[in-house]
Structure 1
Amino acid sequence: MFARFAQSWSLIKASASVLRSDKELLLFPLLSAIASMVVAASFIVPAVLGGAVTTLGDGGHVSPTLYLGLFAFYVVQYFVIIFFNTALVGAAMIRLRGGDPTVADGFRIALSKLPAILGYAVISATVGVLLRALQERAGFIGRYVVGLIGLAWTVASFLVVPVLANHDVGPIDAVKRSAELLKKTWGENLIGNTGIGLVFGFIVFATVLVGGGLIVLAATTKTVALIVAAALLVGVAVLMLVLVQAALQGIYSAALYRYAAEGDAGSAFQSALVADAFRVKA
């Protein structure tokens, strides 16, 4: 277990070295976050004005109409996220193959996969709405089981975006291929992403804690400009950490996919380390 964690952590560090070489990759998660907020606002504001949120807050069940709206929201939101992730992974794959990717390269790859991205967004939205409906109707144990199903879907579909970025396949074939590659990458998939989440979760927590102290200290001066400056500094720091985490996860998924599918993770990754990490069990 510890050896597998060490292998995964080494892969994470190698992913960070790729990001240091191509800092422009941070632009993809930044644009994804901005677009996602715009999409969320375009759905949430009408829902609030229409009283849908109030109905749910009063204990009302989700109506078929609301489920339809939720499905539409999921489709658009997933499309945005998958589009920018495909651009990020596509650019990262160029770097892993020894090239020097640009932001335009990433967008070119994503734009060439629009039909498949839309199809996968519909599949993801369908799964999301179904799990949401099951959770609403299930008891405590049922919610736990639904949560496990959701986790299994997340793990099995983790390599869908690299598959889409590298092949002209439909969304269903991409999901099938991702599930097949899971047999080779399940340990690094789970431990690597959990490791990235835990590390950045701790860093974000520490940043907020220290930043909160700075804001309190600034508040003692009763200087509005200083308080605002401290709050903005903390906000920017947290935003940068979130963007770096998203970029590393994209690069990490590209590296996992490339080695599992092609037998070579790229020059940034030590071949002996990666070969050991993906050794097939007898």
Structure 2
Amino acid sequence: MGFMDKVRNGWKICELSLEVLRSNKKLIIFPMISCIALFIIISSFVFGFGYFNNWHFEQLNDPDHYIKRYSFTFLIYLISYTVVIFFNIALMHCVRLYFEDKEVSLSIGIKYSVSRLGYILSWALFASTVGLILKIIQDNVGKLGKILVGFLGIAWGVSTFFVVPILAYENKTPWNALKESISMMKKLWGESLTAGFSFGILQLCAVVVFLLVSFIVGLANIYLGIALFILGMVLTSSVFSALNSIFISAVYTKVSTDIDVKQFSATDVNQLFESKKK
């Protein structure tokens, strides 16, 4: 399959993900709760750290406190990965249930994520360690090293593209989950990157619209304008997080299972998935 065919499939999958979300709008609840939970937990953690250190956050930049600084960074990474993956797995499980024409609810998704908590925590520890290593390198090398770390970060993001559904449905160690994700990405890189790019363009357009509307409203009432912008950013982030999870779940389901994802039955896309299975 040529590059342009992969691009067309990526856009098609993006459109189909939008259709799935329109058909089941309750899926947006998961990223919204994730965003709120992450804000509350990290805010509480930062408040507690500040309280017990007399609010001297500047000491984190002191070379003599590098252990405290990197321990703080690691814990933030760990909390973030755990919360985000927990709710992403809940969402993806509900997406699969939706594909199977089964009941979808918040409680069902949360219960399933709880059942996968061991795999979620093991991956969070693994990913946080990788993130911390990259952070340490970034803080202690020159400009060339920072550029290298930037590329490594991009490679890490691409390599872990399919990790969440693998954690959700396969009993793999973090290392094996990473290898499986890389293997899937090698087969579906064109569709995956194109769909991701498509979501990015749409999200950017949504942000620009909210920014303009908020600016106009802010001319009359600055507080209302700020509130509208924050609400718009939360809503936009939640919608596109849900779309991305639907897309990843659909691709993983079609490639790795025998479940008939009817919403993704377009001939070109279906043939792509069948060829990957073979």
TM-score, length basis structure 2: 0.88
Aligned 8 A contact 2:60 2:66 in 1: no
One-letter identity of the residue aligned with 2:198: G
Show structure 1 runs of 5+ residues with no match: 220-226
Structure 1 residues 45 and 86, CA gap change in structure 2 (3 angstroms): same
- Aligned residues: CA RMSD: 2.3
Deviation at 1:211, TM superposition (A): 1.6
Counterpart residue number, 2:180: 177
Show structure 2 runs of 5+ residues with no match: none
Aligned 8 A contact 1:185 1:260 in 2: no
Deviation at 1:276, TM superposition (A): 5.0
Counterpart residue number, 1:69: 72
Give the stretch that moved more between structures: 261-270 or 48-57: 48-57
2:58 pairs with 1:54: yes
2:31 pairs with 1:29: yes
Counterpart residue number, 2:81: 78
Aligned 8 A contact 1:255 1:265 in 2: no
Secondary structure class of the residue paired with 2:264: coil
Identical positions, percent: 29
Deviation at 1:144, TM superposition (A): 1.2
1:1-282 matches, cutoff 5 A: 1-49=3-51, 50=53, 53-56=57-60, 60=63, 63-216=66-219, 218-219=220-221, 227-262=222-257, 266-275=261-270, 277=272
TM-score, length basis structure 1: 0.87
1:10-54: per-residue Cα shift (whole Å, max 9, x none)? Answer: 101111111112111111101100111112212322444535532
One-letter identity of the residue aligned with 1:41: S
* CA–CA distance in structure 1, aligned partners of residues 210 and 109 of structure 2: 31
Aligned 8 A contact 1:5 1:191 in 2: yes
Secondary structure class of the residue paired with 2:172: coil
One-letter identity of the residue aligned with 1:142: G
Structure 1 residues 170 and 140, CA gap change in structure 2 (3 angstroms): same
Aligned 8 A contact 2:82 2:120 in 1: yes
Aligned 8 A contact 1:15 1:248 in 2: yes
1:123-165: per-residue Cα shift (whole Å, max 9, x none)? Answer: 1100110110011112112111111111111111111111122
Secondary structure class of the residue paired with 2:263: coil
One-letter identity of the residue aligned with 1:53: F
One-letter identity of the residue aligned with 2:58: T
* CA–CA distance in structure 1, aligned partners of residues 56 and 261 of structure 2: 49
Aligned 8 A contact 1:83 1:110 in 2: yes
